[in-house]
């Protein structure tokens, strides 16, 4: 394997691994479920993209032609991660989970839960 290809694969693998670790660390450290939704759905998606790009370069070298089927998983995760996050947030709202103390506009949570439009003078 040529040296420049090894460098490209190593850099994207390391980027992906660090972002996956940061996403899972945020899942442990952040205070409430609405904040915890952010770190896995954003940082982990970026991390898995790095690993998939490294895998794409490696498989292209292995097979001898451009292998873009790894981009299929990336595309699938980019489509499904926001949908899954939205459904988890709806579940948390449905169960009336309490947000952290400093969250703004907490009075609007009931209107979101009942799928009503917010009253016009309540948004600060």
Question: Which chain residues interact with other proteins by CB under 8 A?
Answer: 1, 6-7, 9-10, 13-14, 16-18, 20-21, 23-25, 27-28, 33, 36-37, 40, 44-45, 47-48, 51-52, 54-55, 58-59, 62-63, 67, 69-70, 72-73, 76-77, 80, 83-84, 87-88, 90-92, 94-95, 97
HEC readout, 63-116: HCCCCCCHHHHHHHHHHHHHHHHHHHHHHHHHCCCCCCCCCCCHHHHHHHHCCC
Q: Of 102, 123, 101, which is closest to residue 112 (Cα–Cα)?
A: 123
What b/e readout covers 27-59, taking b as 16+ CB neighbours within 10 angstroms?
Answer: eeeeeebbebbebbbbbbbebbbbbbbbbbbbe
To other proteins, the closest distance from the beta carbon of 68 in angstroms equals: 12
Closest to other proteins by CB, 33 or 112: 33
Closest to other proteins by CB, 17 or 112: 17
To other proteins, the closest distance from the beta carbon of 100 in angstroms equals: 12
To other proteins, the closest distance from the beta carbon of 84 in angstroms equals: 5
């Amino acid at each position: 394997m040529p040296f420049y290809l090894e460098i490209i694969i190593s850099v994207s693998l390391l980027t992906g691994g660090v972002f996956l670790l940061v996403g899972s660390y945020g899942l442990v450290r952040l205070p409430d479920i609405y904040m915890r939704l952010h770190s896995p759905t954003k940082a982990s998606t970026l991390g898995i993209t790095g690993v998939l790009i490294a895998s794409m370069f490696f498989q292209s070298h292995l097979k001898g032609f451009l292998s873009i089927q790894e981009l299929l998983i990336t595309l699938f995760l980019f489509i499904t991660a926001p949908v899954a996050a939205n459904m988890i947030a709806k579940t948390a709202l449905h169960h009336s989970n309490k947000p952290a103390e400093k969250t703004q506009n907490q009075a609007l949570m009931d209107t979101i839960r009942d799928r009503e439009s917010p009253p016009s003078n309540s948004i600060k």
